[in-house]
Every structure is written in structure tokens, then in C-alpha cells.
Structure 1
């Protein structure tokens, strides 16, 4: 039974196109970049799935770790390529050819197809893996300089077809079975018959080169570099030099992610709180040792409980300040004990610090009293951080905020709200305003009164009449001319502190008018 053609679809310029194809889909005549509706017209049984870049990146990271068995120098090249530096490693597998056979067998076991290439340079290996043994793509747009005009084709009938702009002759059996391993020092001869698109250049540059008759990499070797750089840019020359080994291109291995997790497998399932607390007490010191070995502190911790019925429960806590101390992590985990459902019993407990930050040791110098004062301040900060962590375990760290002063004379912009867990207390003192500011500030609400700058003796606000008893002001505040604030398009404001006969202490202002009409507004309340 033949496998069904399969393709991965992604959106490009508001059109769904084929991003990658299976072998069966390619055999059906489909190509990458083809619109989906055209592909379905050619192959009605085509099975498609939407592209998932996040999942593909995670899978490529898994393959990178697998490729570490061949060499410690492995880097990722999106979307689906790995670059491996085999220097000094191939002999461990019997040579380069047995190593490639091992790669092909492992990929076949994983259900993957693979194309490989081995050369002295990254560019040459990239070209061999993708273009070795394939015919050179031709341009039939009619403007290639080496294409014959229609009037001369009859006279040139005896010429070889590939000298008239046709496709080059197909390689023989030996070339079709081309080994994708370039001998040492033979990168130039191996790359010469490959198309110019094998140089990792953009498609427009490759198409322009083909139009000029420069179809193969060998055609570029004898072309002056200065002329190529002037016509097509420095990128073409750089890619050519990198492929031929004239410009270095080292392999930068991907740094393995830091992983901090500890696990305790139990001989018998547990379900009591005391047993879970005992497991936490055994795991946290080991987690602390692993974090301190890397100079890291936990910011978010996962508490995973594996039940006897093959199910799992995950609880997560966050900390206001990164720490590796069990005394600061344990209270947060214990707050999650009421949420634990042991079911038929828990046979494995796992704690993972999946979000970490560097920890910096602090050294205090100076007189004894000064050091004691600094230590007291640090202890107070630690207590506040622990309080934020405990509250965050209940309501979430994002719900706990703190205010910081902002550099603005606009009343509603004199402060900014920051997440308490991800910010420090304000170091500088709050700036003093020229006049007292109200306790509550809201968006300006219209006030019915005489449209004149003088403060009226009575006005109407929120459907209620008010009599002015006392007033203080005005304080003139101008808008920030470099910003376009919708609420400040009414121009300059004159603010008054007004006490009404009902006992309300309001913050009124008169807008002198600008892009919007003038009038009276209420901006806040002092009580």
C-alpha cells in the first residue's frame, strides 16, 4: 500500500503555500512554494498540516542533541538543518562514509529522510547536501544572453542543445550516484558543476546570474570579484569565498540549555502530606547544590507529582527574587499542598527550576555599623521578597504591582505601575508636586458650568448640583507638545482644588481649548 502524499502548509503573503513535502508528494509533481490550491488540483489526495514553527524548533533541538553522538560541535540551521564539525571524529566510526551510513540508519529508524554532505567548508557541505546530483536549473524567460533567437534556431540545429540555452546533459550513472563526500582540498572541483543557488544566495540574485549565463559555480570562479561585488553585492562574493575556503566560517555549536531538576522515585506510593514534605526536604538540598554549581537561582519552580495510575499533576510557584535556598523555596511549595490530589498514590516526585537567573555574591566593606545597617536593609528586602512570593502563590505574581515615579509633569503620568516580582523598589524619592495631588484620579469628566476661565460659584457634575464653598488655585499645566494625547487635545488647563457644599473635595480644571472645544472638567477627588 502506497503512502498518501503529505505536505506542510504555511502562510506567505496571505496565501497558503507548500513549505515541505514528503517523497510521495514530490513524486506526484508537487514542489515547495507551490500554492495549496494548485497542489490540490494536481493531487486531490494530498494530506496537509499547518506549519508549527515552535514545535519544529523543539524537534530540531532534539535532533541536535542526538547528533552530539557524532561530534560535540553541532549547530542548528533553521528550519531543518544541522551543521556538524567532524574534525577528529570521523575515524571513531570507521571514516566519513560509514559515519554517513550510520546517520542514514538512525534517521530511518526515526522515520526521517536525510540528505548529507561532507566537505572542508560549511558552504561546500551545504551545497552538496542539497544540490549534488541534481540538474542545473535553467531560466527560460527569454532574456538570457546565451539563448538563441527564434530566427537562428534552424541554422543552429546541429549545435549541441545545451550551448543554445537548453538544459545541460544529464550526468551518467557514475555522476547520478555521486558520493556527497568532497575529498580534502577538492572543494573547487566538486562545487564547479553545481548551480549558483547552491551558494546560499537569495533567489533573485541566483535568477539574475542565470540570465547572464552564469549558471554554475564554476562559471563564477573565473569572473573578477570586483565586478561581481559591484553588480550583485558583497554577499555573493562572501558566500563564494566561504564555500571555497577563502574566508573562514567556523561552526558555532549551540549552547546546551541549563537544566536543573531533581527526582525521587518511591518504592511504595504515598499520599500523606507528611510524606510529601519529607520528599521535598530530600530534593531541595540537591537542587540547591546544582543551582549553586552554575551560579544560578530559581525564579520559577515546577512541582510534579507522578501518580500510580500513570497520571501526573503539575504545580508551579514563582519567586520575587531568584534564590537557590531551600528555606525560601519550601514555604512556597508547602502552600500548594491543599491543591495536591494524590489519587491512588504518588510514586515519583520531581522538582524542576525551569526559569533561573544568575546570582551575584555581595561583599560589604566599611565600618562595622555601616555593614550592620546594610545587612539589615538586605534582610528587609528578603522578607519583602518572601512576602511577594507567598502572595504570588495564591493570586499570581502578575497581580502584585508597585508604583514608581515617572518623569512627567502630566498628573496622570507622574507614576508608572511595575510588576513587584520583576522590579526593585524606587531608589529615588518621589518628586514633590507644586500643589497637592488628589487621592483618586480618573479620566476627565465634563462639568456643566459657564464656559469662562473664572471659577464658577456653582456647577453641575454627575447629575448633581454643587455649590463652591472654598477654592484654591489655579495651577496651570500645559500638555506635552511632543506627544499627541487624546485627552490633552483641549489645550492648556487651569486646575482648582474645590470644596463643595456637599463636602466633596474635587479637582476641577478649565481647558482653554485647542483641537477640542474649551470647558470645565473634573479630574479627581481629594476625599
Structure 2
């Protein structure tokens, strides 16, 4: 018999309670998270109040509102719930170094040789429940020799085996027929099995070593992690509990329900191996400073940063990572918290590249009644390659290489991004297209490399381009002497052209359905230098248009 001990943790209200932690006011009424299911919205995660109101997971939102008019809902955010489960993964590391996630709401902990450090298995589970209660989370735990048994105890211990159709349960029958139910043993013909002493004894969530069979026997067959259709098929045959399966011929079960049923049963009972693949929690690169007395001056915050930032940079360098986004948190004495994010154009663990950005962010923090703790975290980081250090003789060459590598531009982008946002800073790259609108690509400067050399010797293009605007007063293909554009009359003094540009025949661009264009560079008497073209007409009518202006 294996000496392994597996703890399965299930957080049945993870999504809803995560939202309640962020906004405690949501717990004043029934609350649920909603997800899209085809063309309908269904409940994805419910609070305790919502469950008490009779709502259940997977219920259509319209039915839930009909049952509970005061229901509050928010859209589910799967990636944030996954990040929260990752935080619980790090928390579970206090009980054992072997922790694995069971998305979207579970954790698996290999407690082999660890339970005695917490006073035994019962005390350890009590510690788990106490920690989760402090975090405002509901948790159900199961402890057994195998992963399947621990999973079953965590999710089904204490639950009866329900009927697959309504009207078969004893309590739903008329009073006159209820007295004969024991003689008829109607549960053998598809009804729900009555509760027994064995069932109540199996409600414990700790299976003693070597006794997984006795702990699993009173549980419903759904505890074996079977598909819903298999559970329904077994229920129609009267096989509702695990003990009903253990007494059946295995060959008959495999022939009728497939080998998956037998495999799950053997895994839960320990007859078949089921490996656990623990994954180390992602590195948390952060430092914090708890202050003996509250501070409120900007200079004090910067002084604290000067002590925290070198530690964070050393951790980043040791991990071979470079920070891309930093989060500065200021925890106030009134239990409130304010934070600021700063981003770098390139991942780096250099202190001199981060400090100017953090100083700018620190100036925007409101100290309130005083700050008693500061926390600095690299919430986004990427691998960086090690660089060789140079001596004094190579200092000039190193500076030249640093400038040539674009570090100065990267620092400028980071500083501007702190004020404007990195998404607002863009750079232009040449594109492989002869169409004016597609001749260049606009990319985010922080996530792209500098543009290569632009092609030279091509036709002149205007500095400003806009969607083609119609020009009136000219009908013929020949360039007119006078035209009207944007409500004003213009007299053409000089013109250069035409330059014929054909559409991309392999693409259906709505702007180019007017066919071939003849472009002209014209100068008006008002000094404007416009880019006009005559569209010869395709699927749309011909005419004159203004497409841009030269500097």
C-alpha cells in the first residue's frame, strides 16, 4: 500500500468570492458571476446568499432573475480568476512544496511526510479552513491515499446520490404510498436510495490510510469523475453509489460503459496509478518595506524607494529577468491602498532606468493620513540576456554602443509612456504595398524594433493622408483650373502629374472600388499643396477626390 497522502482543495465559490473581496458591498444581496453560453447568459459562480435563494450554477440568467429579483450580477473574468487561483497556489506552498492546480477552482497538495509539521492531518485541515475563512473563501477539502479519492471526498462527501428524474424520491410520493416504499425497494427500479447509517458515516473528509474503499463506498458515482451521460446511464440501472459498482463484474462494466469507468474506479481505489504533476508557482518578484511611523512627504517615499529598488533589481538579475511593468503600492494607515503602474519600453533590471519612472509615479500618490507600508513588484517581466561588463578603457565604446542600441530612445519612450501611456507612443514602419493608405504600418513603440531604412527614390507622398473626400466643380478626367473642396473654391496655380495607381485586384477594398486612380500634386493660390486624384470608375461612379496634403 502506498504511503502517499493527497489533499484536494475545492473552492466552489471562487469567482464570486474574489469579486466580493474587491467590492464587499456585493455581499449585501444575492450575487453571481455570469458567463456566455452560446446565445444565452448563465450563472457561472454564486455567493452563499445566491445559493440560499435557490439559484444554482449553469442556470439561465433570465430564470435566476425570475426566482430572485434582487440578484446582483457581474460578468465573469476567467483570466483574473486564474490569476487568483495562482495566488492560492502560492499560499498552499506553506503546507507542502508539491502543489498542483486543478483549474478552474481546485488545488491538489501532496502532503506525504508533511502533516506532522502541523499537528496531524485533522489539525492541518483545520488550519486550511481557518486560513480560507480569513481570506473570505469557501473551501471543501478531502484527504486520502489517492487523488481520485481525495477529489471525491472534497466534492461529494456528505451528499446523497440523487435521482436522475423527478418523482422517484420517497419524499415526493403521496403519504398513502410512502409507507410501502420500504417493501417495494423502489430505488432498485430507478429511484433514489434512502439514507443509511453508512452514508452518514462516510461524510467525513479524511480517509484513513488504506481505507479509501470504505470512504468512497457511500458516495455517488459522480464522485469518480465520470461524464454526465455515464452517471445518468448508471442511475437508470440503479447503480447510484460507488459500492454498487465495486460488486459488479468488471468485464461487464467495461463492455457496457467503456474502459474509462473501470479506470476511474481503479484510480480512486489505488489499483491503478494516477501521477500528480506539481508545478512550481510562478516567481513573485516583489519587495516591501514596513515603516515604524507613517510618512507623508514625497522625499520620504523616494528615500524608501532608494532602499527597495536595489533589492528588486538584484532579484531580477539573479532570476535572469527584466522588469517590463512595475507596480508601486502605498498602504495607508486607514487600511486603504493606492497604487501606480510604470512601464519600460524594454525589459531591464537596471536601477537607473527604473528610478526616474518610479519617482514620477511617487509624486502622484496621495499619502492621506500617512503611509505605513510600501510595496514594489514587477508584475510583468521577461527574460533578458546577460551582458559582459567593460572596464574604463572601453567606457567610451560602451557608451557609443549603448546609444547605438537605442537605450536612450527606450528611456525616452518609457518616460513619455509614464505620462501618456505606452499605447499612445507609436512608430512608423514601411509596408510592402503600392497603395498610399497601406504604404506604412503604425506600431506601438514599446513593443516594436526601430524601423529599417525606408526605400528611397520612389514617388513623393503627402505628409497627411485622410479618407478620400469628394471634389466638386470638375467632371472631366482633365485637371480643372478651379474646383470646390470642403465648401471653399480653390484656384490651381501649378500641377504635377498624373501618377496612375491601380487597386490590388486580389483584395476587395471598399475604398478602391472606384477603379484606377490618376493622382496629381497641385498647388492652389492660397498656398495649399493638395494631393488630388481622378477615379476612373469601377463598381462605383467616377469623379475627383482629395486624398491628402503635402507639408
Q: Same fold (TM over 0.5)?
A: yes
Cα distance, 1:67–1:6 mapped onto 2, change above 3 Å: farther
Q: TM-score, normalised by structure 2?
A: 0.74
Could you say which structure has the greater relative contact order, defined with CA pairs below 8 angstroms and 6 or more residues apart?
2
Which residue of the other structure, out of 3, 27, 34, is the alignment partner of 1:11? 34
Which residue of the other structure, out of 401, 404, 421, is the alignment partner of 2:426? 401
Quick one: distance in 2 between partners of 1:34 and 1:292?
50
In the alignment, is residue 497 of structure 1 matched against residue 521 of structure 2? Answer: yes
In the alignment, is residue 261 of structure 1 matched against residue 287 of structure 2? Answer: yes
- Measured after TM superposition, the shift of residue 238 of structure 1 is 6.6
Which residue of the other structure, out of 396, 415, 439, is the alignment partner of 2:463? 439
* RMSD (Å) for aligned C-alpha atoms: 4.4
Which position in structure 2 is the counterpart of 1:145?
none
Q: TM-score, normalised by structure 1?
A: 0.77
- Measured after TM superposition, the shift of residue 425 of structure 1 is 0.6
Secondary structure of 2:143 counterpart = coil
In the alignment, is residue 100 of structure 1 matched against residue 125 of structure 2? Answer: yes
Which position in structure 2 is the counterpart of 1:510?
534
Cα distance, 1:198–1:507 mapped onto 2, change above 3 Å: same
Contact 2:490 2:524 in 1 (8 A): no
Cα distance, 1:506–1:131 mapped onto 2, change above 3 Å: same
Quick one: distance in 2 between partners of 1:50 and 1:327?
42
For structure 2, list consecutive stretches of 5 or more residues without a partner in the other structure.
1-26, 168-180
Query: Aligned residues, how many?
Result: 500
Which position in structure 1 is the counterpart of 2:17?
none
In the alignment, is residue 198 of structure 1 matched against residue 223 of structure 2? Answer: yes
- Measured after TM superposition, the shift of residue 412 of structure 1 is 1.0
Secondary structure of 2:520 counterpart = strand
Which position in structure 2 is the counterpart of 1:299?
324
Cα distance, 1:489–1:204 mapped onto 2, change above 3 Å: farther
Which position in structure 1 is the counterpart of 2:453?
429
- Measured after TM superposition, the shift of residue 58 of structure 1 is 6.1
- Measured after TM superposition, the shift of residue 443 of structure 1 is 0.8
Which position in structure 2 is the counterpart of 1:137?
162
Which position in structure 2 is the counterpart of 1:150?
none
Which residue of the other structure, out of 161, 183, 188, is the alignment partner of 1:163? 188
Which residue of the other structure, out of 359, 367, 371, is the alignment partner of 2:384? 359
Alignment of 1:84-483 (within 5 A): 84-93=109-118, 95-104=120-129, 107=132, 114-140=139-165, 160-172=185-197, 175-182=200-207, 187=212, 191=216, 194-211=219-236, 215-216=240-241, 218=245, 221-223=250-252, 225=254, 228-229=257-258, 242-243=267-268, 246=272, 248-253=274-279, 255-263=281-289, 265=291, 269=295, 271=297, 273=299, 276-305=301-330, 314-335=339-360, 339=364, 349-362=374-387, 376-380=400-404, 381-426=406-451, 428-432=452-456, 434-448=458-472, 451-456=475-480, 458-462=482-486, 463-467=488-492, 469-479=494-504, 481-482=506-507
Cα distance, 1:136–1:364 mapped onto 2, change above 3 Å: same
Contact 1:264 1:283 in 2 (8 A): no
Secondary structure of 2:96 counterpart = coil
- Measured after TM superposition, the shift of residue 305 of structure 1 is 4.9
Cα distance, 1:39–1:68 mapped onto 2, change above 3 Å: same
Which position in structure 2 is the counterpart of 1:153?
none
Cα distance, 1:474–1:107 mapped onto 2, change above 3 Å: closer
Contact 1:491 1:511 in 2 (8 A): yes
Quick one: distance in 2 between partners of 1:364 and 1:449?
69
Which position in structure 1 is the counterpart of 2:12?
none
Quick one: distance in 2 between partners of 1:307 and 1:396?
26
Contact 1:242 1:249 in 2 (8 A): no
Quick one: distance in 2 between partners of 1:467 and 1:42?
73
